[in-house]
Amino acid sequence: MLIITTSISAQDKPQQWDLTTCINYALKNNIQIQKSKITLEQSTVTAKQAKAQLLPSLSGSINQSFTNSPFPATGAAINTYAGSYGLSSSMLLFDGGKTEKNIREQKLLEQVGQFNVQYSQKTIQFSILQSYLQILYAAETVNIDSATVEVSKFQFDRGKNLLAAGSISKVDLAQLESQFSSDKYQLVVAKNNLETQKLNLKQLLELSVKDELKIGIPTLNDVDILKPLPALQTVYENALNVMPQIKSSRLNIQAAGLETEKAKANFLPKINLNASVATNNSTLSGFSFGQQLQDGFNDGIGISVSIPIFTNRSNKSTLEINRLSEKTSQLNLQDAEKSLLTEVESSYQDALSAQSQYVSATEKVKALQTSYDLIDQQFSLGLKNTLDLLTEKNNLLAAKQSLLQAKYLSIMNVQMLNLYQDLPLEIK
């Protein structure tokens, strides 16, 4: 059974992880999402309980007693056994609509719980998107740094030959060796950063230390990076219609309004219908047990009315507090809409900026690559010194890093705009 369980568990986890796989797995296993689902289940139970208040209650009672009279007038001790049995029921007839409004409120709060689950899911999708792209960025950085190390090694080896031929000095060779060592160090840093980013993603996915995270590296081209963006107003309007925190805030306003209506109902009378049946028996009676139950049987029905007259300002204070809470809920909605606008605008502007930077960085890398190739050839011919070569090489490396940053910033912000509009996240 242990072998079978382990096999099933292993099958649940993919051999290779892409963005879609990571998101789907996290939606099923992330702890915060699971907590929000439990909170939703609690809201569902509360809603059922509120609805059940319209039904009549029914309770039964059984009382048994033993009485010892050691000094009766007859001179002989008497032990008495007695019992009483009854059923009672109560049903709400009128409470100013308070129960009905509470049912509606609890249903709204149940929907709020559903939106809170969706919000947790959106949050984890945001986090995984960022973490996944950081891994891709770190992986490409490792590739760039690895290629740089290969070039540095080639230049250092070539420098040793040039030194032997008398074309460069020992100082020039020392500079090439220093650059080679620096590039190897940067490669180690890049690899460590890649492992750190993988660890962050594993934590989001709730994976254990033993679980291996093999990331599938997608092939991204200019079509993925320079996707046309919809109008900002369109993105924001779509976000207002689909983002769960906005929907939740709107429902909270309705729930707060129902709380105010419930507070108003406290000023009205409350009417209950009551009914009961009961019987009893005792050993002091000379009749049989069955006859006693029949003789002692009684039933009744009645109506109780509770009228609030003076409540030490309790009802009035509750009403005033609920009205203030209703205003607070309206302000919370405005605040949520404002925060969403800030987030959408920020992602939109970042996407535009990253796309522009990507185009410029692409042209810059091409120009610097051409320049570096020429200087490298001139260095081989002794027309350029080591400082010129290394300066141009570092300029090219910096341009490649800028291109890489613009590339993944563009992809991330475009995908975030999709997420704001409830569109699927796809990086293939």
pLDDT tens per residue across span 32-77: 999 999 999 999 999 999 999 999 999 999 999 988 877 666 655 5
Write the CATH number for 240.
Answer: 1.20.1600.10
Mean pLDDT of the chain: 91
Please tell me which of 70-79, 221-230, 339-348, 380-389 the model is most confident about, judged by mean pLDDT. Answer: 339-348
Identify whether 209 is part of a domain: yes
Average of pLDDT values for 127-154? 94
Are 65 and 183 contained in the same domain? no
Are 336 and 391 contained in the same domain? yes
Are 100 and 133 contained in the same domain? yes
Are 241 and 374 contained in the same domain? yes
Are 289 and 352 contained in the same domain? no
Q: Does residue 2 have a pLDDT over 50?
A: no
Q: What is the pTM of this model?
A: 0.85
Identify whether 426 is part of a domain: no
Are 148 and 41 contained in the same domain? yes
Q: What is the pLDDT of residue 257?
A: 97
Are 81 and 225 contained in the same domain? no
Are 374 and 396 contained in the same domain? yes
Identify whether 126 is part of a domain: yes
Are 149 and 276 contained in the same domain? no
**Residue 289 sits in which domain range?**
59-94+272-307
Q: Give the Cβ contact number of residue 44 at 10 Å.
A: 16
Are 146 and 217 contained in the same domain? yes
Sorted by sequence, the CB contacts under 8 Å of residue 35 that are 6+ apart come out as: 120
Number of independent structural domains in the chain: 2
Identify whether 2 is part of a domain: no
Q: pLDDT tens-digit profile of 291-340? A: 999 989 999 999 999 999 999 999 999 999 999 999 999 999 999 999 99
Q: Does residue 79 have a pLDDT over 90?
A: no
Identify whether 119 is part of a domain: yes
